[in-house]
Amino acid sequence: MHDFLIAPFAEFDFMRRALLGALMLSLTACPVGVFLMLRRMSLTGEAMSHAILPGAAAGFLIYGLKILPMTIGGLIAGAIVAVGAGAVARLTVQKEDASMAAFYLISLAVGVVLVSLRGSSVDLMHVLFGTVLALNDDALWLIMIVLAVTVLVLVILWRALVAECLDPLFLRSVSKLGGITHQAFLGLVVLNLVAGFQALGTLLSVGLMILPAAGARFWTTSVLPMVGLAVVIGAMSSVGGLLLSYHASLPSGPAIILSSGAIYAASVLLGPRGALMPLLTRRTHRTG
């Protein structure tokens, strides 16, 4: 048991770095994922994860695989797509979901073309799927800073975020925080996706944000316990995925997301609000 669970992290520095980065990502991305899910914006998070690709690719095209240029590029690209999609939705007849889909598809194509101009297929895979086993000090510091900013914003805007999940129109009618809260939250989404792509790539970073949150919802209806449970699921997925990657020689990022998907599937079936519990409850009532 020690050789299977402890030895990979005890013996190899890259495994400890990967674990630290993945755990910090769980702490910062999973709470944001809960609010994305409660606001019915999960697909918006997916779109935004593709939207940061052109900026990250532009940073890669100019400076190579360096953290700061790719991070700044990803933030700029994410902000442009968020603002552009919102402007199209406000100024035209097109709904926000359709404009977001259009923007993210264009962004994904532009990003892949930019990476292909200079890099190899290996570089493209690195940008798209990340390299959690190759996290350096700069990447860990970036994730730590994003974690601190996320916690600070959530503490300050917690009540407004919860209220907006329940009734956004009411919040905007009684408080000036409605618009500010929405923009701040979108900023958090972009920040966490940019931090996540260092480890999981632009395609999979949203997975650690959404899947633990979706799984947690089958176990509780209260927001704060849901956030805590999502973080626990994210941490379990990180540990399980890294161990699966090490022992089965699988890609580390997809292994983490697959672990999270397995916990989600178990939650769908076994959670108090899942598929099987209502059936078992009805059967118990009938036999009683």
Q: Mean pLDDT, to the nearest integer, of 58-80?
A: 81
- Band (pLDDT 50/70/90 cuts) for residue 281 is low
Average pLDDT of span 34-60? 81
Q: Does residue 285 surpass a pLDDT of 60?
A: no
C-beta separation of 185 from 35 below 8 A: yes
Domain count, the chain: 1
CATH of the domain at 135: 1.10.3470.10
Q: Please give the residue that has the higher pLDDT: either 137 or 234.
A: 234
Q: In this structure, what token pair is assigned to residue 108?
A: 């994904």
Residue 170: pLDDT above 70?
no
Average pLDDT, the chain: 83
When mean pLDDT is compared across 22-36, 57-71, 256-270, the lowest value belongs to 57-71
Say what the pLDDT of residue 272 is.
Answer: 86
pLDDT band at residue 169 under the 50/70/90 scheme = low
Residue 274 has a pLDDT of 76
Greater confidence, 2 or 204?
204
**CA-to-CA dists, residue 257 to 214, 252, 264, angstroms:** 13, 9, 10
The answer to whether 25 and 242 are in contact (CB under 8 A) is no
Using the predicted structure, report yes or no on whether residue 183 has a pLDDT greater than 90.
no
Q: Say whether pLDDT at 141 is over 70.
A: yes
**Which of helix, strand or coil describes residue 192?**
helix
Structure tokens at 11: 């013996």
Q: Residue 29 pLDDT more than 70?
A: yes
Average pLDDT over every residue of 1-16: 85
In 54-83, which positions are buried (b, 16+ CB within 10 angstroms) versus exposed (e)? bbbbbbbbeeeeebebbbbbbbbbbbbbbe
Please give the residue that has the higher pLDDT: either 65 or 196: 196
Whether 269 has a pLDDT exceeding 60, the answer reads yes
Prediction pTM value: 0.87
Q: Which of 225, 232, 236, 210 is nearest to 273 (CA)?
A: 225
Domain that holds residue 132: 2-287
State whether the Cα torsion 238-240-243-246 is positive or negative. negative
pLDDT band at 288 (very low <50, low <70, confident <90, very high): low
**Residue from 277, 239, 287, 230 nearest 259 by CA:** 239
Mean pLDDT, range 159-183, rounded to an integer:
74
8-state DSSP, 222: S
